[in-house]
């Protein structure tokens, strides 16, 4: 490796990184008072996370802290979906893909280094893999943001997977499901602005909430808010 180069791909093979990531699984169980959720959905690119979560849940089961582990779902962007394609083939003949541009840039990976670990994890927890198109993930992000969450595109890939599996009946209304947030939306503000401004090519942006240009003073902001509240008949 040349001087000045940072090899992120190699970092994902670091076992100590996985040891840190697996603590999230332990924390989930702890915060649920050791009641195991039915599903945990994790965005996947290089696939270290999905294996680390399995490792954490499996460790807690071996220690007797819980009596089972949840089913894991790995959610991939459709423009970088080698794991999804491998899963759909019945785990036959894995082939790397040339990842295309996606708003979920951190999982824009066509040849994941932890592929074997991820397959092992899903096979041992009856896990599945789902994908999300660019439009689906942006719609899911807008829908989540409307509740005040302000999520990242990678998390919206996982939310899209949840919607798809819920609609198909794989995940039932009574299943306790955890969707893992992997970044904050403030790192991806431009994609949000572009979506709500409806300037993304070949995308309907059906849940857009168009931005309003306001003068940089408090009174102007208040005037806009008053107009909005009056239009929605939300005055108190």
Tell me the pLDDT tens digit for each residue of 90-102: 999 899 999 999 9
**What is the DSSP secondary-structure string of the chain?**
--TT---HHHHTT-HHHHHHHHHHHHHHHHHTTTPPPSEEEEE-SSSHHHHHHHHHHHHHHHTTS-S--PEEEEEEETTS-HHHHHHHTTS-S-----PPP-S-GGG--SS-TTHHHHHHHHHTTT-EEEEE-HHHHHHHHHHHHTTT--B-HHHHHHHHHHHHHHHTTSS-TT--EEE---SBGGGGHHHHHHHHTT-STT---TT--------SSHHHHHHHHHHHHHHTT---
Q: Which portions of the chain are predicted below pLDDT 50?
A: 235-236
Q: What pLDDT is attached to residue 5?
A: 60
Q: What pLDDT is attached to residue 2?
A: 55
List domains and CATH numbers for the chain.
8-231 (3.40.50.1100)
Backbone angles phi, psi at 33, to 5 degrees: 55, 40
Q: What pLDDT is attached to residue 9?
A: 53
Q: What pLDDT is attached to residue 56?
A: 98
Tell me the pLDDT tens digit for each residue of 171-223: 999 999 999 999 999 999 999 999 999 999 999 999 999 988 999 999 999 99
Q: What pLDDT is attached to residue 235?
A: 46
The tokens 């993930």 sit on which residue? 137
Please report, to the nearest 10 degrees, the dihedral formed by the alpha carbons of residues 182, 70, 17, 134 taken in order. -30
């Amino acid at each position: 490796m040349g001087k000045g180069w940072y090899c992120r791909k190699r970092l994902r093979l670091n076992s100590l990184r996985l040891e840190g990531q697996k603590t999230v699984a332990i924390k989930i169980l702890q915060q649920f008072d050791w009641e195991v959720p039915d599903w945990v959905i994790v965005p996947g690119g290089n696939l270290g996370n999905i294996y680390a979560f399995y490792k954490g849940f499996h460790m807690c089961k071996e220690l007797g802290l819980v009596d089972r582990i949840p089913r894991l779902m790995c959610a991939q962007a459709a423009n970088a979906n080698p794991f999804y394609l491998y899963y759909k083939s019945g785990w036959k003949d894995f082939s790397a893909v040339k990842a295309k541009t996606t708003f979920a840039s951190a999982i824009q990976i066509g040849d994941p280094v932890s592929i074997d670990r991820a397959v092992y994890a899903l096979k041992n927890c009856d896990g599945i893999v789902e994908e999300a198109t660019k439009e689906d993930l942006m719609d899911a992000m807008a829908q989540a943001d409307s509740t005040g969450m302000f999520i990242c595109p990678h998390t919206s890939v996982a939310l899209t997977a949840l919607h798809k599996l819920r609609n198909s009946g794989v995940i039932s209304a009574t299943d306790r499901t955890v969707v893992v947030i992997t970044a904050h939306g403030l790192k991806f503000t431009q994609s949000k602005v572009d979506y709500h401004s409806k300037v993304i090519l070949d995308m309907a942006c059906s849940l857009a909430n168009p931005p309003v240009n306001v003068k940089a003073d408090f009174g102007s902001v208040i005037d806009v808010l008053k107009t909005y509240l009056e239009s929605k008949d939300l005055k108190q």
